[in-house]
Amino acid sequence: MSSSSFFTQGDARADVDEVPSIGIGMLGYAFMGRAHTNAFHKIGYTFWPPALRPRLVHIAGRNADAVAEAARRYGYDKSTTDWREVVNDPDVQVFDNGGPNDQHLEPTVAAARAGKHVICEKPLGRTADEAFELWSAVAETGVKAMTAFNYRFFPAIRLVKEMLDDGTLGEVRHFRARYHQEWLVDPETPASWRLTKEAAGSGALGDLGAHIIDLARYLVGEPESVSANTATFVEDRPGGHVDVDDAFDAVVRFESGALGTLEATRVAPGRKNHMRFEISTTKGAVIFDQERMNELKVHLIGTTPGDHAQGFRTVLVSETYHPYWENWWPHGHMIGWEDSFVHELEHLLSAIRHDKPIGPHGATLEDGYRCTEICDAILRAADTGERQKISYRGL
């Protein structure tokens, strides 16, 4: 099958002048501020016509020179060291929170109360209590609100979701996921906010584990109980004491009866951004590896002819009939990690323009909160050495 519809994009040219613009306010100019801004630039021409045309209005960050430079580099009209100026800016309609974890609650709630639609980076809170408070307060305002779990917006992962939802894969028996990085292997790597409970809440768990926990919930369903280990291998680094986990592993039972293993670490030599999961089902199995994000390994029982040719085959996810691909290039001309944010933020703008729900494909604030309940249960299980039941609060 070919990607011929790519060549016919643009038929909606006549409509595009009618598309309203929407003002974007950003908190954070580092990694996530940059990744999200990059996506806002691309949305305006990748999705055609776009649901809304993002206008980069105001960016906030802690360092005045750095945030002013970020505004110039990224194309924001204004910069400030006080996020309240962004929240109260009448030209801002969407508040995008890419700040550190201790800056999620107050600015996001203030923005929602000021009538701005909000998207907040993960983990939604440093604890489940904090995330619950954020979700409850924002829910009262009625704005569109999203948790920034960008992996849901990888075409190959969305394809797995489709294959689970339409029954192709049958019932899930195992979900095995890991997220490994290496940036803390060297004990001389300096301390930073990410290594303190005060600013981050937890370590590899909330930062990396949150992604695979969210995928577990998105693809398999609700975890019901968990046992776990955590470890901090280097407790003192130049510039500070580390009081969060370098790594965790956990064994999960899902409400459906499926079993899962989850592990994340920042001290895995050679692992750059290794997020991988394997799902075994009653009808086959799939394997996803973030570092080969446009591929999906698929094994469907009984579909490979010949007894000696059974096994996984590699599907290149780049056809127009694959999720999101009608917006991109002819098949085989691959997209990257950054483009998951294009899909994610377009999902938000589309929900705003057409008054559609964020879920089930976008992560709601309830999804963000539930993920933190699982993180807390993992920490409790590791501290007590006892399996923990997970319970979720409702509004």
* Binding residues vs ligand SOE (CB under 6 A): 31, 181, 207, 273
Cβ nearer to ligand SOE, comparing 118 with 293: 293
Q: Identify which of residues 9 and 273 has a Cβ nearer to ligand SOE in the complex.
A: 273
State the Cα–Cα distance between residues 293 and 317, nearest whole angstrom.
9
What sections of 140-259 are H helices per DSSP?
A: 155-165, 197-200, 204, 210-219
Nearer to ligand SOE, 39 or 68 (CB): 39
**Spatial separation of the C-alpha atoms in residues 121 and 108, rounded to whole Å:** 10
* Chain center to CA of 28: 16
* CA 159 to chain CA mean position, Å: 16
CB-closest chain residue to ligand SOE: 207
- List helix spans (H) across 196-301: 197-200, 204, 210-219
**CB 102 to ligand SOE: min, Å:** 15
In terms of Cβ atoms closer than 10 Å to its own Cβ (0-12, 13-18, 19+), residue 17 is exposed
Q: Which of 289/326 has CB closer to ligand SOE?
A: 289
Question: Residue 277 in contact with residue 287, Cβ under 8 Å?
Answer: yes
Query: In angstroms, what is the minimal distance from the CB of 238 to ligand SOE?
Result: 19
- Kindly state the tokens that stand for 221: 């369903």
Nearest distance in Å: CB 90, ligand SOE: 31
Which C-beta is closer to ligand SOE: that of 127 or that of 388? 127
Residues 6+ apart with CB under 8 A from 14: none
Decide: 118 and 363 in contact? Cβ < 8 Å: no
What CA–CA distance (Å, rounded) separates 252 from 338?
30
d(CA 3, CA 319): 6
CB of 217 to ligand SOE, least distance (A): 16
Closer residue to ligand SOE, CB minimum distance, 78 or 370: 370
- H and E: helices and strands count for the chain: 12, 17
Contact criterion met (CB below 8 Å) for 248 and 177 = no
Cβ closer to ligand SOE: 193 or 329? Answer: 193
Q: Which is nearer to ligand SOE, 50 or 98 (CB)?
A: 98
Q: Which is nearer to ligand SOE, 121 or 376 (CB)?
A: 121
Residue 269 CB, shortest distance to ligand SOE, in Å, is: 15
Among all chains, which residue has been given the structure tokens 């979700």? 135
Rounded distance, CA 283 to CA 260, Å? 18
Least gap, CB of 183 to ligand SOE (angstroms): 6
CB burial string 234-264: b at 16+ within 10 A, e below: beebeeeebebbbbbbbbbbbeeebbbbbbb
Q: Which is nearer to ligand SOE, 20 or 240 (CB)?
A: 240
Q: Which is nearer to ligand SOE, 36 or 331 (CB)?
A: 36
Using the CB atoms, write b or e for 23-60: b if 16+ within 10 Å. Answer: bbbbbbbeebbbbbbbbbebbbebbbbbbbbbbbbbbb
Nearest approach in angstroms of CB 163 to ligand SOE is 24
Distance CA 279, CA 299 (A): 10
**What's the min distance (Å) between Cβ of 308 and ligand SOE?**
40
Give min distance, CB of 273 to ligand SOE, in A: 6
Helix axes 64-74, 31-46, angle to 10 degrees: 20
Residue 235 CB, shortest distance to ligand SOE, in Å, is: 20
**Cα 331 to Cα 1: distance, rounded to the nearest angstrom:** 9
